[in-house]
């Protein structure tokens, strides 16, 4: 019985250590802007600062779970006009966002393997926002993005990312699009969106001595 307990304890510790070597922490910093009734198509419209903390768990060299938590700000210029030059409107919104996304690397990515230190990637998942001020509201969000990452060393990586967020509603800017039957589900092009673009830094928390590049193919 004692031997069985010892084996189980060693197995649990080995599993925990193995999981720790797959975890990364980081920070994201960049700009965010909104698209909706006031801005229908302009990129980088009235950009505002955004930042978040990042947690990544790498299942394999290609698949990972990415979670972020941070603050997003959106606003329009004072007395800006909607695309049809009809409604003078402006708004400000600030909210906290927590999201989890599944991430896919197009190339195998492993910083300990210096042959695989660069990859483009895509990700998608679900998020939830918590209102801080302005017209922001508590709501579910669908984020999906793409980016690139590069391993500077066995522990440090940098990257850049572009993420679009569909909000599933038409009230973020306090303007409801005309001609919509409110008793029917909103169409995608009637929903308000926001976008975040920026750079990030990642740090691998634990290093596994067994992950030596000498033994990598």
Give the tokens for residue 51. 């930042």
Comparison of pLDDT for 52 and 190, the residue scoring more: 52
The answer to whether residue 107 scores a pLDDT higher than 90 is: yes
Cα–Cα distance measured from residue 43 to residue 57, given in angstroms and rounded to the nearest whole number: 31
Residue whose C-alpha is closest to residue 54's, from 32, 72, 19, 27? 27
- Four-residue CA torsion sign, 84, 173, 124, 150: positive
The answer to whether residue 212 scores a pLDDT higher than 90 is: no
| Helical H segments across the chain, by residue range | 2-20
* Domain count across the chain: 1
Residue 38 in domain: yes
Residue 9 in domain: no
Residue 171 in domain: yes
What does the pLDDT average to over 36-42? 77
Q: What is the pLDDT of residues 109-133, one digit of tens each?
A: 988 777 888 999 999 999 999 999 8
What is the domain extent for residue 53? 23-215
* CATH code assigned at 61: 2.40.160.20
Residue 2 in domain: no
Residue 7 in domain: no
**Rg for the chain, CA atoms, rounded:** 21
Residue 113 in domain: yes
């Amino acid at each position: 019985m004692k031997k069985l307990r010892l084996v189980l304890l060693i197995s649990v510790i080995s599993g925990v250590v193995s999981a720790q070597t797959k975890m990364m922490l980081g920070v994201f910093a960049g700009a965010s802007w909104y698209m909706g009734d006031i801005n229908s198509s302009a990129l980088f419209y009235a950009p505002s600062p955004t930042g978040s903390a990042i947690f990544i768990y790498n299942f394999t060299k290609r698949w990972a779970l990415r979670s972020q938590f941070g603050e997003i700000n959106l606003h329009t210029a004072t007395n800006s006009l909607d695309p049809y030059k009809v409604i003078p409107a402006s708004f400000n919104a600030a909210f906290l966002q927590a999201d989890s996304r599944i991430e896919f690397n197009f190339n195998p990515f492993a910083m300990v393997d210096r042959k695989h230190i660069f990859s483009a990637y895509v990700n998608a998942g679900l998020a939830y926002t918590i209102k801080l001020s302005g017209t922001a509201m508590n709501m579910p969000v669908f984020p999906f993005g793409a980016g690139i990452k590069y391993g500077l060393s066995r522990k440090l990586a940098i990257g850049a990312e572009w993420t679009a967020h569909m909000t599933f509603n038409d009230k973020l800017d306090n303007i409801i699009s005309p001609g919509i039957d409110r008793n029917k589900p909103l169409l995608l092009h009637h929903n308000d969106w926001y976008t975040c673009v920026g750079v990030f830094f990642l740090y691998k928390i634990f290093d596994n001595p067994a992950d030596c590049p000498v033994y990598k193919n």
